Amino acid sequence: MTTRAGEFPCMDRRSFLRSALAGAGALALGDALRVAALANPAGNADEPSYGPLRAPDANGLQYPDGFTGRLIARSGLPVGLTTHLWPVFPDGAACFDRPDGAPGWILVANSENPPPADVNLVPPVQDLMGGASAIVFNGSGKIVDAYWILRNTQSNCAGGVTPWGTWLSCEEFDFTVRTPGAAPSAAGRVWECFPADEGGTQAKEVQMLGRFKHEAAAFDAEGRIYLTEDLSDGCLYRFTPAPGLLRNKPESLTGGTMHALRDNEDGTVEWVGPIDPTAATKATRLQAVEDFDATPFNGGEGCYYDNGTVLFTTKGDDKVRALSVATNELSVLYDGRGVGSVLTGVDNIIVSPHTGNIYVAEDGGDMEVVVIETDGDDRTAAPLIRATGPQHGMANPSPVPTASEITGLALSPDGTRLYFSGQRTFGLGVTYELAKSSGTF
């Protein structure tokens, strides 16, 4: 996701801490402060600082005063006045500046076709059930174009933004789990896509990032990539570019090593491996756990790097975890297993570069986007958006795929608009925008 330095009207405690964290030469100190702050899990708040949720709007969305919601794309229908049909089951997303220098931005979003997806369908149908699409906005937020940037792939779930402004689209499937006798490598891949590449002709597989049931990807400041795996015995992986390759540059994806995280259960971790990313003879997660004693995490979901910390969510135990890159310390930022927890079904996660607020999407729960606000050592979680009504599967909850989930959190580059999707809203999915009338998310 494109990030820019935030501007604050006054130097309050939160602004001072974030300035200290971002200051040149202060990385080690800033990271230590951040880890100390994350040592105590966030608690629940009755409402965010934005205020209480008001009555549902015409789309069944609740949010506080000072915001405006709109539906920008509905699966199977043309996007705006374009001829591009929005694909089904929209998932991971991010926003990019327009590379032509024109005012506005580009929203990129994946399409996660429903499991099982062991066979390809006829091309026109398969195109609507995988890959990634882009929507181009002008400076006022009007849709001016939409097109494919990745086609002929399967179950594209989440992903991550590269430091050079491309999108890593991650396939989330592993046939070694469902199909007896399948080759170990019959699992999801990672594709590098280009937001302005109409038609997706430049998209390419990133082989070094492995074959497994990918969820999300996040780069740290050293160019290493952290990857989650959505299985009950999945792992957290880290790809390190080979020596001699320029970090945070395209060539860094051409060679390197893959390791998995081992939780020592004393607050520290270590990286074990290396693991064969091609899974040529043994499934990736089995290499990690059986050969190197890596720690399985139950349902790895969202992953985001922010100022020396890797945040990742695990839906199986409803936790948001924080990993210090500098100290290899692991802590729990939020534990949703408590009575009355605001945040459950933790999934996609992003951090605002403008305010430091953490936004987490729910897969289940109350169909909410929950904000974790941080002020010094204090953190509280409260709903910011709630999707209601039968179109979201909430009036009469039913099994997937009728019941929807919140996916694809993405902030516009200026921080004034938040994008998200109801993955199976109206059965096939919709994508929304929430605009803030003043200030930033």
Pairing between β-strand 237-241 and β-strand 225-229 as defined by DSSP bridges: antiparallel
**Which amino acid appears at position 121 of this protein?**
L
Identify the top-confidence range among 34-48, 59-73, 168-182: 59-73
Average pLDDT over residues 156-163: 97
What percent of the chain is predicted at pLDDT more than 70?
85
CA dist list (Å): 428 to 61, 73, 392 = 17, 11, 10
The whole-number pLDDT of residue 39 equals 56
Indicate the pLDDT class of residue 184, thresholds 50, 70 and 90.
confident
Q: Where are any strands of DSSP class E within 212-343?
A: 214-219, 225-229, 237-241, 256-263, 269-275, 300-306, 309-314, 319-324, 330-335
The pLDDT, as a whole number, for residue 3 is: 29
Q: How much is the average pLDDT of 359-384?
A: 90
Q: Which of 65-69, 375-379, 420-424 has the lowest mean pLDDT?
A: 375-379
SS3 50: coil
What was the pLDDT predicted at 21? 29
Amino acid of residue 5: A
pLDDT reported for residue 58: 96
Do residues 91 and 156 lie in contact, with contact meaning Cβ atoms separated by under 8 Å? yes
Least confident window among 36-40, 214-218, 367-371, 428-432: 36-40
> What's 246's DSSP letter?
P
- Quote the CA–CA distance of 234 and 180 in Å, as a whole number: 19
CATH architecture of 13-436: 6 Propeller (2.120)
Q: Give the C-alpha separation, 392 to 407, whole Å.
A: 12
pLDDT on residue 123: 65
Q: Tell me how far apart the alpha carbons of residues 153 and 389 are, in angstroms, rounded to a whole number.
A: 32
Instruction: List, edge to edge, every strand of the sheet that includes 156-161.
Output: 156-161, 167-171, 190-193, 204-205
Contact assessment for residue 87 and residue 111, using Cβ atoms and an 8 Å cutoff: yes
Lowest-confidence pick of 26-35, 74-83, 416-425? 26-35
Closest C-alpha to 394, from 111, 46, 60, 47: 60
- Mean pLDDT, range 300-325, rounded to an integer: 96
What is the average pLDDT score of the chain?
87
Residues 6+ apart with CB under 8 A from 6: 18, 352, 353, 354, 355, 415, 440
258 SS3 class: strand
Amino acid 179: pLDDT:
75
Instruction: Of 326, 342, 80, give the one whose Cα is nearest residue 334.
Output: 342
Which tens digits make up the pLDDT trace of 215-260?
Answer: 999 999 999 999 999 999 999 999 999 999 999 999 999 999 999 9
Q: How far is it, in rounded angstroms, from Cα 330 to Cα 322?
A: 6
Q: pLDDT, tens digit, for every residue of 258-297?
A: 999 999 989 899 999 999 999 999 999 999 999 999 999 9
Q: Which pLDDT tens digit goes with each residue over 94-141?
A: 999 999 889 999 999 999 986 544 555 666 666 666 899 999 999 999
SS (H, E, C) 397-424: CCCCCCCCCEEEEEECCCCCEEEEEECC
Reply yes or no on whether the pLDDT at 210 is more than 50: yes
State the average pLDDT over residues 18-29: 30
For 297-311, the pLDDT digits (tens) are 999 999 999 999 999
**Residue 207, SS3 per DSSP:** helix
The answer, yes or no, to whether residue 374 has pLDDT greater than 50, is yes
Q: How many CB atoms lie within 10 A of CB 29?
A: 13
